[in-house]
A and B are shown apart, each in its own frame.
Chain A
Amino acid sequence: MNISWYIVLSALLFTIGAIGILVRRSPMVILLCLELMLNAGNLALVAFSREVGNQQGQVFALVVMVIAACEVVVGLGLIVAIFRRKLPLDVDDLRRLHG
């Protein structure tokens, strides 16, 4: 398969994740859609690393995975904290910082 197929697939997955972030309002699903976008970036990184014939892009993809794990941990901690305070889990209701 040509590398360009992988790149187009990565763009498609990134776009689907972007739609999810724009449309959904539950913070948990927004985190999942962020995962989709990060994974699309990972796919592009690995595809480019295969295209160049160099493994350094794969190390970069590994670091992206670490960043995604950190983001998930902090985001889920925030969601649990919001749920404990009995605030609505809806990003349209949570737009004010002090409310």
Chain B
Amino acid sequence: MEAVLFFIAAIGATVGAIGVVAARNPFYSVLALVAHLFSLAVLFLLLTSAFIAAAQVVVYAGAVMVLYVFVVAYVGSGHEPKWDPVPGQRLFAGLLAFFLFVEISAAVLSSGLRALSTHGPDVPAGFGDPAAIGNLLLEKFLVPFEASSVLLLIAAVGAIVLAARKRSGEPGGDPRNGRQNGGGATPPGHSAPEARPEGVAPAPTASSPTLGAPR
């Protein structure tokens, strides 16, 4: 039963991963990643780590993927060209990845860790449940726990700073705002004395506030 579940979850995870790489539309890549994450949660359950599986489903498939979906919907699916900028790039990538797979597998499987070919030791009933992980987090790993919370806060602030619309900090943003906020009285009065001697200028000066207005 365990073997059947393992192979189903393993095939699901692999197909999901291939779908992430192969899908042309980023939206389908995100959906394939969600399937991959659920399969991985099943694998974590098979490894008797219930809390990690729950966190995987809640945090990853719940929160992070929603963020991805929103950004994909905002940015839209760009047109990725099908040709390779470097000739033979896909071939070399495949070869490199194959050798990487062989190398990692050989390095781990021939490492002389005898417990690798076993199920692992028998563990008590509470192995990997939220109480055990919580005890570890708050007793032994308190400093990494707090450091990761500070890191999350910094990342959130950094993302807001990166993605926020620049309103007044931009050098070009201030005069445009001032022109809009100053009402309609000042720009015509300001531009009229400059425009009259030339006679051609009223059209561009009249069009520049309307260009600035939709932004």
Interface of A is mostly: helix
CB-nearest residue of chain B relative to A38?
B60
Q: Which of A18-32 contact B (CB under 8 A)?
A: 18-20, 22-26, 28-29, 32
CB distance from A70 to the nearest CB of B (A): 4
CB distance from B19 to the nearest CB of A (A): 10
Contact yes or no, A9 B10, CB < 8 A: yes
Interface of B is mostly: helix
Q: B113 within 8 Å of A by Cβ?
A: yes
Q: B162 within 8 Å of A by Cβ?
A: yes
Contact yes or no, B94 A63, CB < 8 A: no
- In Å, the complex CA distance between A14 and B148 comes to 24
How many residues of A sit at the interface, in one of the four size bands? 35 or more
Best-buried of B47, B60, B78, B89 by chain A (most CB within 10 Å): B47
Chain B residues within 8 Å of A25, by CB: 80-81, 85
Q: Which of B90-125 contact A (CB under 8 A)?
A: 90, 92-94, 96-98, 100-101, 104-105, 108-109, 113, 115-123
The total of chain B residues at the interface (CB under 8 A) is: 87
Chain B residues within 8 Å of A5, by CB: 6, 10
CB distance from B31 to the nearest CB of A (A): 11
Q: Which of B69-84 contact A (CB under 8 A)?
A: 71-72, 74-75, 78, 80-81
Known: A17-B17, A25-B80, A55-B132. A50 touches B120 (CB 8 A): yes
CB distance from B105 to the nearest CB of A (A): 5
Contact yes or no, A46 B75, CB < 8 A: no
List residues of A whose CB falls within 8 A of some B CB: 1-9, 11-20, 22-26, 28-29, 32-33, 35-36, 39, 42-43, 46-47, 49-53, 55-56, 58-59, 61-63, 65-74, 76-81, 83-84, 88-90, 92
Inter-chain pairs besides A56-B140, A90-B78, 18 sampled, C-beta below 8 Å: A1-B6, A5-B6, A7-B105, A9-B14, A9-B43, A11-B104, A14-B104, A18-B96, A25-B81, A28-B71, A53-B123, A55-B136, A65-B60, A73-B159, A76-B71, A80-B163, A84-B165, A92-B85
